[in-house]
Amino acid sequence: MDVSATELGQLKPPHKYQATREEVFPSSTSLAWFMRQNRARLVEAGALLQISGRNLVHCEKFDAVVIEIGREKVAA
């Protein structure tokens, strides 16, 4: 599998991701809750990874899952 430096640049620790998405996740606690509630889906989408024992968020993929889940919630 080819991985570009651009894609690796998408990987951020959750607290750095949250800091750029405060309108959606106003606190680290709200992001942690979302990650717990949707862990399987985030992992399946490649949005949440664990490298060297640390959780990392793939920003673009995580955003896509957040939007998808938001659409489902409003449609339900």
Model confidence over 10-52: pLDDT tens digits? 899 999 999 999 999 999 999 999 999 999 999 999 999 999 9
- Asked whether the predicted pLDDT for residue 5 surpasses 70, the reply is no
Q: How confident is the model at residue 3 (pLDDT cuts 50, 70, 90)?
A: low
CA 26 – CA 76 distance, rounded (Å) = 24
Residues contacting 59, CB < 8 A, separation 6+:
10, 11, 12, 17, 20
Q: What is the pLDDT of residue 1?
A: 55
In the chain, the number of structural domains is 1
Q: Which domain holds residue 50?
A: 5-75
